[in-house]
Amino acid sequence: MVDTIVLRLHNIRNYERAIRVFLEKEQNGTTQEMVQAPKSEIDKLKKIYKDPTQIFRMLRFNRTGDFLIKSQSGKKKQTSGNYEFSFSINWK
């Protein structure tokens, strides 16, 4: 019985449809992002919030800076419920 299959895709822009399936909203996982924002805005938010995730959330809420997704990973269950897929996408 096979319990693990590894599928490695290079040049993922060629597999846009497959990537969209993995990134549907019904998945559990994490996303790692980075932002370029004015230092003055970040300093102002650091005085208010101690947690970096809150600072990041407020930068996004205020639409300040440019956001870049670095990587995404997660798990997705197949429709029949018999299989679960784990995936990791490195956008670098």
Q: How far is CA 32 from the centre of its chain?
A: 5
What pTM does this model have?
A: 0.54
Examine residue 18 and state whether it is found in any structural domain, yes or no. Answer: yes
61: in domain: yes
Please count the structural domains in the chain: 1
Digit-coded pLDDT (tens) for 2-53: 677 777 888 877 888 877 877 776 567 777 778 888 888 888 888 988 888 7
- The answer as to whether 6 is a domain residue is no
Torsion of CA 82, 90, 10, 81, to 10 degrees: 10
Any domain includes 7: no
Q: Is residue 60 in a domain?
A: yes
Look at residue 19 and tell me if it is in a domain.
yes
pLDDT digits (tens, 9 = 90+) for 56-75: 788 888 777 777 778 888 88
* Full domain range(s) for residue 53: 12-90
Answer yes or no: is 3 within a domain. Answer: no
Q: Is residue 62 part of a domain?
A: yes
